[in-house]
A and B are shown apart, each in its own frame.
Chain A
Amino acid sequence: MSGLRILVPVKRVIDYAVKPRVNKAQTAVETAGVKHSMNPFDELSIEESVRIREKKSYPNGVEDIIAFTAGPPKSADILRTAMAMGADRSIHVEVKDGEEIEPLGVAKLLKAVVDKEKINMVFLGKQSIDDDAGQTGQMLAGLLGWSQATQASNVSFDGDGKGVIVEKEVDGGVETVKGQLPMVVTTDLRLNEPRYASLPNIMKAKKKKIEKISAGDLGVDIARRLKTIKVIEPPPRKGGGKVEDVDEKNTEDSFEDSSDKLKFLSLRIIFQVGLPQFSKILTAKF
């Protein structure tokens, strides 16, 4: 039984702390001159791969950790970050600025890379924080016919080097499943805390290799299936203002006849904390 050959897809996205703005033409989110960084969930994937190697938690060791991205030329920056964190080398499918590949297209690219590089484990983030689709990992597992575990908060291995035990975050708690290698795992926030790349490692990463290939080289059609008609800002909420005291007597009575009990209850609590002058804003809302 050979060691793990891990593929870690990473995506360059607008930094999570930046509030995105829709462009004037309402066709997309403004990306020019906006700070970008690695999708936070992808950092967890790199970290987990490197930890498996460092902690020798897989009995046959880790042979290779390959970071992958499909994106514009600037995406090379986040591949460097991934390699500074511990990935051995990178593959970059370059596309033009502003061109977005859909999850299905990315999954097909990844399948081709998995075949080419004889990968037996893929760690992906559970979703990218730009498109919020949450599809690529599951699609890849489907295309490959592999086991999948989504939203992993803990990953461990059987002694025989075949079984992978994954704790998953599900609605209402945690679920544990056991998959078989080769396998696709998507990472959730509680899996680990990604390290910062140290300066020496950043320098070393500059010597690591980034292989550039095109979708055509991999024989994959990445034509889009979804057309974006428009992108708008969500309607802004209007803050209702602040009050100083919990115990302001109110105009509750005027809502006594409301047939919607729930609505009334909401109002009641609001009015118990609120001043009468806010009643106007609130009545406008119902």
Chain B
Amino acid sequence: MIPRAGHSVLRQARCQLRTRGGLAPVASLSALSRLLSSLAVLEQRDGKLNHGSLGAVTAAQKLGGSITAFIAGGNIKAVAEEAAKVMGIEKIISVENAAYDKGLPENYAPLLVENIKKGGYTHIIAGHTAFGKSLMPRVAALLDVQQISDITGIEDEKTFVRPIYAGNAIATVESSDETKIITIRGTAFPAAGAEGGSASIEDGVDPKAESISEWISEDLAKSDRPDLATAGRVVSGGRGLKSKEEFDRIMLPLADALGAAVGASRAAVDSGYADNSLQVGQTGKVVAPQLYLCAGISGAIQHLAGMKDSKVIAAINKDADAPIFQVADVGLVGDLFEKVPELTEKLKQ
């Protein structure tokens, strides 16, 4: 940790010399003292910490330097206390105000900007979730920073790895912005340990910006199964299921037998076999479970973008030439209406 921090100071110094050679020495000295410090933006819902968002803490740990976490909403105390136990966090900045409960970017972005300016953080990290995707670019624009989206790797404090073209290419980019604003791919940064830490809790500044938009309602798919984005096992169905009834009849027992989350291809979602929120792919969720078992999915590149980092991919498809077999570790050629129930039975034994 210490040599790492030292390196970052050197790098900062070099960077300052290169870009601002003309400035007075005092300016570069103050830059020297500006050590790496990260702000992990955590998510909460109805007074509960979203553990998926702790991936931001993991990413901050990889960077090195001090880690502060940020959380805001009504009745935030319990969430802040829960976050204080998370391994690796030094300080929690919490802002208690029900206006931030729904994470509306119009008021949340100014809130975050004020707290970033006050804390002088070098890195701001959030998950590439619906919340992070909607909020962070707005924050970046307000700070005049070019955000780095959906990173899967950290090379050093200004160099990051991110997939482009639906994961068909992997780019390494170097940021010249003083503050780095980053969203992380959850599957690449597992949540930090929820226990073992003892962070101090401080109140953040609350600019109380008015939100020009309001939250009306939400309709979330209810499910007792594991969350798709973070599940260790995922079973996924495609157009081959033919109807919603068949999808439910064939795929759900398999998911239950495995304790897996249920996913779907875009074709299945568009045909109404499964809910939108279950879509895996470039335009849906990106998953990387231990096991991804799919049936009736041909394997279009947009779908592969969402699952090809899975540890083991198993596929059942009646078309032996389906592209899915090129990435599957184990492929079974056969009619899913026979094979899947058979597999489900065997798993139950």
Contacts and interface: CB of A to CB of B under 8 A. Distances in A.
A178 B129 CA distance: 21
Interface in A138-188: 138-143, 146-151, 153, 165, 168-180, 188
A138 B134 contact: yes
Interface in B138-190: 138-142, 144-150, 159, 162-177
Given A225-B176, A285-B329, A169 B105 contact: no
Given A178-B213, A265-B291, A269-B258, A129 B331 contact: no
A219 interface: no
Given A107-B141, A229-B172, A239 B165 contact: no
A274 interface: yes
B301 A237 contact: no
A97 interface: no
Interface stretch (A13-21, A69-77, A198-206, A209-217): A13-21
A177 B213 contact: yes
Interface residues of B, number: 89
A227 interface: yes
Interface stretch (B21-29, B92-100, B198-206, B216-224): B216-224
B303 interface: no
Nearest to B135: A138
Contact of B171 (A134, A179, A231): A231
B134 A171 contact: no
B332 to A, nearest CB: 5
B340 to A, nearest CB: 9
Contacts of A177: 104, 213-216
Nearest to B133: A134
Interface in B27-70: none
Nearest to A193: B270
Interface in A192-246: 224-234, 237, 239-244, 246
Contacts of A273: 314, 316, 330, 332, 343
Contacts of A171: 129-130, 229, 277, 285
Contact of A139 (B141, B311, B329, B343): B141
Given A130-B164, A265-B258, A285-B312, A135 B147 contact: yes
Contact of A242 (B139, B172, B331, B343): B331
Nearest to A179: B213
A25 B334 CA distance: 42
Interface stretch (B73-81, B237-245, B319-327): B319-327
Contacts of A285: 311-312, 329
**From DSSP, what is the main secondary structure of chain A's interface residues?**
mixed
B313 interface: yes
B173 A173 contact: no
B184 to A, nearest CB: 14
Contact of A232 (B170, B212, B308, B333): B170
Given A138-B134, A178-B213, A227-B176, A234 B332 contact: no
Contact of B213 (A29, A143, A149): A149
A229 B258 CA distance: 42
A61 to B, nearest CB: 23
Given A131-B164, A243-B331, A173 B220 contact: yes
B290 interface: yes
Contacts of B195: none
Contacts of A153: 276
A129 B165 contact: yes
B242 to A, nearest CB: 20
A179 B104 CA distance: 11
Interface string B247-291: 000000000001000000010000000011100001101000011
Contacts of B301: 19
A106 B291 CA distance: 40
B232 interface: yes
A159 to B, nearest CB: 16
A150 B166 CA distance: 19
Interface in A91-148: 102-104, 107, 129-143, 146-148
Given A19-B301, A135-B140, A269-B347, A150 B170 contact: no
A29 B332 contact: no
A228 B177 contact: no
Contacts of A230: 171-172
A14 B165 CA distance: 9
Interface in A255-286: 262-263, 265-267, 269-270, 272-274, 278, 281-282, 285
A149 B134 CA distance: 8
Given A19-B168, A175-B218, A177-B214, A237 B308 contact: yes
B139 A142 contact: yes
Nearest to A188: B283
A52 interface: no
10 contacts: A104-B144, A132-B163, A138-B134, A142-B139, A227-B174, A231-B172, A247-B346, A273-B316, A274-B330, A282-B312
Interface of B: 104-106, 109, 129-130, 133-142, 144-150, 159, 162-177, 212-221, 227, 229, 232-233, 258, 266, 275-277, 282-283, 285, 290-291, 293, 301-302, 308, 311-314, 316, 320, 325-334, 339, 342-343, 346-347
6 residue pairs, one from A and one from B, having the closest CB atoms: A173-B220, A138-B137, A142-B141, A225-B146, A142-B138, A135-B137
